Amino acid sequence: MSAPVAVQSAPSTPDAVPPRERPFSRANLVRTVAAGYAPLAVAVLVVFLPLLWMVLSSFKQPGEIVTLDLHVLPAALDPENYRVAMTTVPFGQFFLNSTIVTVVGSTIKVLLAILTAYALVFVRFPFRNAIFILILVALMVPPQVSILPNYILIAGLGGKNTLWGIILPGLGTAFGTFLLRQHFLTLPASILESAEIDGAGHWRRLWQIVVPVSIPSIATVALVTVVSEWNEYIWPLIITDRPETMTLPVGLTLLQNSESNASGWGILMAGAVLVIVPILVVFAALQRYIVAGLTQGSVTG
């Protein structure tokens, strides 16, 4: 009987790797433009063009705005509309009131959000989770629901036509508490345990450990709070009816009532520019903290 012949199998060849598209191929460029740059350009134009039109119109005369012959650029950069807007209504007083309301209200809101979020995460007390659920419920309730109860309360306390009457009802910030609590949950417990062993109390742990490592999230809460306080319109409109205590958005309504005819559009545009430019500058300078704060703690490992 003949010996069996060993059959040697041919080595297996790896699966063929499909060729990668060149980065600057036509198909790749078309997909990048269609799915990336085109929607981004449309979004930028939707936001930017109304602002640009408002700024250009603030320098136009009435005949350049109310006309069948469209003029995109003003005939001359004449600041007359800004002068009229600032002299028709007391814009200086409005600006001071808005600054006071924004600084005081935002500072108290951020401090309350920090203290509340720290207590919900690091302080053991009964019904802690139930309180957090109530905060989430408050976050889902539209603020317009509380306008009437707030008005009755503030008016009864003598806060009508006062700055503290504008500030007081909005001091609670469910959004800031929620955001900071979620971030505090991602902090390593070992750091706080070491500080507790060393004898650090809650107050020292909060301001020397938790706050320094949470600056991006706190800055995000502060920026969102500042923008919302500066742009708040409904509540200041209801609780104030005197120019001495009006904020800038409400003062713009007073300017609109003073310039109700067709010749006042340029003046109204100038007033709108005066209202939004300060907060746009602040937002542009600090907007990077929003991305850093909202994504902080989202990557683990």
pLDDT tens digit string along 283-300? 777 777 666 655 554 444
pLDDT band at 262 (very low <50, low <70, confident <90, very high): low
Alpha-helix residue ranges (DSSP H) falling in 123-258: 128-140, 147-156, 163-167, 174-184, 189-197, 202-205, 211-213, 215-231, 234-239, 248-258
Q: Look at residue 42 in the predicted model and tell me its pLDDT.
A: 87
> In whole angstroms, how far apart are CA 74 and each of 65, 213, 258, 274?
9, 49, 24, 18
Q: Look at residue 87 in the predicted model and tell me its pLDDT.
A: 86
Query: Nearest-CA neighbor of 139 among 234, 210, 224?
Result: 224
Across the range 105-110, mean pLDDT stands at: 94
Q: Look at residue 86 in the predicted model and tell me its pLDDT.
A: 87
CA 207-208-212 angle, to 5 degrees, is 85
Question: In percent, how much of the chain has pLDDT > 70?
Answer: 85
Out of 39-48, 67-76, 82-91, 245-254, least confident range: 67-76
**Alpha-carbon span 85 to 89, nearest angstrom:** 7
pLDDT tens digit string along 119-170? 998 888 888 888 888 888 888 888 888 889 999 999 999 999 999 999 998 8
Q: What's the whole-number average pLDDT of the chain?
A: 82
Is the pLDDT score of 68 beyond 60?
Answer: yes
Q: Look at residue 297 in the predicted model and tell me its pLDDT.
A: 47
Is the pLDDT score of 244 beyond 80?
Answer: yes
Across the range 76-102, mean pLDDT stands at: 88
pLDDT band at 175 (very low <50, low <70, confident <90, very high): confident
- How does 21-45 read in b/e, with b if 16+ C-beta sit within 10 Å? eeeeeeeeeeeeeeeeeeeeeeeee
Instruction: For CA atoms 32, 37, 39, 40, give the dihedral sign.
Output: positive
Query: Nearest-CA neighbor of 98 among 299, 295, 275, 289?
Result: 275
Alpha-helix residue ranges (DSSP H) falling in 91-184: 91-122, 128-140, 147-156, 163-167, 174-184
**Alpha-carbon span 267 to 81, nearest angstrom:** 5
Is the pLDDT score of 107 beyond 90?
Answer: yes
Q: Look at residue 165 in the predicted model and tell me its pLDDT.
A: 93
Question: 259 is written with which tokens?
Answer: 């310039």
Count of CB atoms within 10 A of residue 181's CB? 18
Across the range 170-181, mean pLDDT stands at: 86
**Alpha-carbon span 235 to 143, nearest angstrom:** 10
Q: Look at residue 23 in the predicted model and tell me its pLDDT.
A: 59
